[in-house]
Every structure is written in C-alpha cells, then in structure tokens.
Amino acid sequence: MVQIIEGESSSSNRHCRTIIRGADRLSTLPQHILTEILSRLSTVEAARVSFGSRIWMTTWHLLPNLVFDYSQFPNVVNKAHSFVRFVDWTVAHHDESDVKIFELQLGPTTYCEASIKYQWVEFAIRHNVQKLVLHGRVCGTQNLANSIFSCRSLVKLELSVNELVFSWPETIQLPNLKKLKLKFLLLPQMISNQDLFSNFPALEKFSMFFCNIAFFDVLSISSSRLTKFTMSACPGMESCSIRLQTPSLAKFIYTSWDPRESVLQVPPCGFSLVVDGDDSCMCRGSPDELSRTVVKLTRELFGTSYITKGRWLIQMSQGGVVNRGSGGYVTDYDSVGDFGDLNDVTIKNFG
C-alpha cells in the first residue's frame, strides 16, 4: 500500500515532507529510541502524540523528564481543571522508572488558578528526581519542606512558591545537591545562631531572589564547595548580616532591593569591611564613591596574598555601629568568612 501525504512542520520553519510507504515501522523501533523521540517534544505535545496510539502511550508512561508548564497548556475552558487532571493522570500512570527532571511551572500565580499538589511532589521524590522545580502556589498546608529536603537524589532544586511561610525542615539530607535556587520564600524566624545553609556538602551554586529575610539577624553559610552565591532584592537584607565560610567562592553577587540600580540613593547604612579586626578599610562617602570604593577595595584586597589567610566579616552597619541593637562593635570573629579564591565581587549600594 502506498500513500503520499505532504505536510508542513510549522515550528522552526523546517519543511518536513513525508511520504509513507509500507506498513507501520514504529513497532520495530526499540523502546529507548521511542523514548528519545518523545522526550524531544514538550510535555503537552508528547501527551498529544501518546493519545494517538498504545505504543506511544507506553512510552509516555516511562518518560524520564516531566515539565508541566501552565502557560504552555492549551487555552481551553476550565483550563486549570484540565491541567490538574493532566498532571494527576500522568503521575498516576507513570511506571516505576526514575524521573530525572520534574518541573511544575504554575506561574505567574496571578494568572494560574491551579495549585501544586503535595502528591505530585511526593511522586517525584519517590522516583528519585534529580532536578526539581516548583513554581507556583502550594495546595493545602502540608509541609513540603520535610520531604523535599530528605530527597537524597536531588542535584538541582528550585523553589519559587509564593505565599508560603517556609518551615525549615528538621533534618536536611541532600548529599548530592549542587544547585539551590530560592525565590519568593518567606524564611521563618529562627534562632539566630542556627546555620541554615551549612548542611549541603556538595553545594556549588546558591541563589536567593526576593526571599524575605526580615526575621534574620545573621545569614550564615558555610560550604567548602560553594563557588557562586547570589543574593538579590531580598526584603530585609539591609538589616541582615551575612557570614560566609566559603573557601572556594569565586563569585559573590549581592544586589539591592532598589530596582533603580542606575540611580543611587543616599544610603542610611553603608558597608564596612573589617579585616582581622582592622577597620581601617571602613569608608564613607557619597553613594557613588562608596560603592566604587568598596568594589575597588575588595578587588585590591583579594589580589593580595594577605587575603588568602585573612579572615573577613562583611557587615551592614549604620553609622559605624553594628546594628541588631547590640549598641557596640562586634568582637566575635569566630565565624567569619573565608574567601580563599574569590576573584569577582559585585556589591551594589542601596538605599
């Protein structure tokens, strides 16, 4: 039987003229090739193909990468309901094989009526997920944090869940976590000397965006492998000290809450760099001068061999007095930052 059908692939402007001869060849392809092909489609497209035949449906049930993006879902009536059913169905019928990547992109939350279900996250964890991305609102009050932070298979974790006071988990077992990104979280009030971010032995990159750290006096991070740390526009960052014990840190990006970065305001507080108890690096000036000096100083200081042995404490201070109501200078330098290999620092001033 010979059939000739011509079609156009509208995506990426490639013309795919297809001519069919003979019987269905699909069933002759081994499973892993079918999986390879189906993996190259978006989750919605792949599902569409799977609805066409049992062979593809079987393949669908063992796909290792599942990315559910609400914005890519067809705009049907009852979209949220259909979307939730779709994720439910996928999760219910997946076979026992591992799911390497599991993403739930249910944002922006102003337009997405669906919420992340605890069962979906549990599914991913049970299937040894390596990359977990949660973006959206969370359904119910179950504590996601405990399960997520005991998922030993995790290598990359991105949490961007609005309106959630993040209960910090009781134990953290993430021996393989290399990348951690936190967005929009409201970090809870903690006992101030707790080292929240020091339980990730393999962590290489850590970033915090828009996380509310108003309850924090001190944010303490110790990690021997951390190479990049980014902290950006976190409410409360102006009154929070940061202590870094990160000998491998190569990039530290700390940017302000003020979106108008090109226009520097007169700051109520400034930066002081205290090196080994020597505060002669402390400087004041116009915001422009201050930020330029800070950056210049840190570059100079990092360039000297003195610094490889030196100890650092980066503090926010108001008018020369360390805040947090201590009324005096901090004399405790026990937990200070170690910047052995730091070679790029971006510190922007803020108001």
81: helix, coil or strand?
A: helix
Residue 178: what residue type? Answer: K
- Asked if the peptide bond before residue 108 counts as cis, ω within 30 degrees of 0, the response is yes
Q: How far apart are CA 274 and CA 146, in angstroms?
A: 38
**Choices 7-15, 149-157, 210-218, 343-351 (CB under 8 A): range interacting with other proteins:** 7-15
280 interacts with other proteins by CB under 8 A: no
CB of 78 to other proteins, least distance (A): 9
CB of 66 to other proteins, least distance (A): 16
Nearer to other proteins, 83 or 166 (CB): 83
What is 291-349 written as a DSSP string?
HHHHHHHHHHHHHSHHHHH--EEEEEEETTEETTTT-S-----SS-BB-SS--EEEE--
| Sheet architecture: strand order including 131-136 | 65-69, 101-105, 131-136, 156-161, 179-183, 205-209, 228-232, 251-255, 344-347
**Choices 44-52, 210-218, 272-280, 281-289 (CB under 8 A): range interacting with other proteins:** 44-52
2 interacts with other proteins by CB under 8 A: no
31 interacts with other proteins by CB under 8 A: no
328 interacts with other proteins by CB under 8 A: no
Q: How far apart are CA 32 and CA 46, in angstroms?
A: 15
Size of the residue set binding other proteins (CB under 8 A): 51
CB of 136 to other proteins, least distance (A): 19
16 interacts with other proteins by CB under 8 A: yes
Residue with tokens 């108003």: 214
Choose, by CB under 8 A, the member of 28, 110, 304, 331 that binds other proteins.
Answer: 28
Choose, by CB under 8 A, the member of 31, 71, 85, 170 that binds other proteins.
Answer: 85
- Contacts with other proteins by CB under 8 A lie at 3, 5, 7-12, 14-30, 33, 36-38, 40-41, 44-45, 47-49, 51-56, 73-76, 79, 82, 85-86, 89
